[in-house]
């Protein structure tokens, strides 16, 4: 399984914060009120003296959530992203990573939790950046 698909599957199946009833795409976000996607944001690769690769995959998790002048949905979104970032950090501490074919994950990091990238009257798109480090096996 490639890194994007493996990380999306890991989030979908393992993260208790993501409602399994909501749509969770890869590289696409539709118009549903609540919807998620994981996007590739580039990667870097280094090769050690033995010829084995270390790959750093950058992803952007985007959630489209209710938004508006009412305080409750906006605070709910902030809580969701704070908790999602904490969950990713906890998974890193527990060494619970996505399963990527041909690689062993060694680290996963989350940053910039809950940044609004687009907002309309009733919904907004928020993001969390995820960095996954893989070593070739």
Tens of pLDDT, residue by residue over 46-75, are 999 999 999 999 999 999 999 999 999 999
Tens of pLDDT, residue by residue over 73-117, are 999 999 999 999 999 999 999 999 999 999 999 999 999 999 999
Tens of pLDDT, residue by residue over 4-19, are 999 999 999 999 999 9
For the beta sheet containing 103-119, the strands, ordered from the edge strand earlier in sequence to the opposite edge, are 23-26, 35-47, 53-66, 123-136, 103-119
Q: Domains along the chain? A: 3-136 (3.30.2000.30)
pTM of the model: 0.94
Q: Is 81 helix (H, G, I), strand (E, B) or coil?
A: helix
Q: Is 87 helix (H, G, I), strand (E, B) or coil?
A: helix
Q: Give the C-alpha separation, 24 to 40, whole Å.
A: 14
């Amino acid at each position: 399984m490639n890194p994007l698909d493996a990380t999306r599957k890991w989030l979908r199946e393992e993260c208790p914060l993501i409602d399994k009833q909501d749509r969770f795409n890869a590289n696409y976000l539709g118009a549903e009120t609540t919807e998620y996607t994981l996007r590739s944001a580039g990667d870097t690769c280094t090769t050690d003296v033995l010829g084995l690769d270390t790959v750093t995959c950058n992803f952007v998790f985007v959630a489209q959530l209710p938004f508006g002048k009412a305080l409750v949905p906006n605070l709910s979104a902030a809580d969701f992203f704070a908790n999602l970032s904490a969950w990713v950090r906890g998974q890193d501490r527990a060494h619970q990573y996505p399963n990527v074919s041909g690689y062993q994950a060694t680290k996963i990091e989350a940053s910039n939790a809950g940044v609004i990238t687009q907002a309309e009257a009733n919904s907004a798109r928020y993001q969390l950046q995820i960095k996954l480090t893989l070593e070739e096996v």
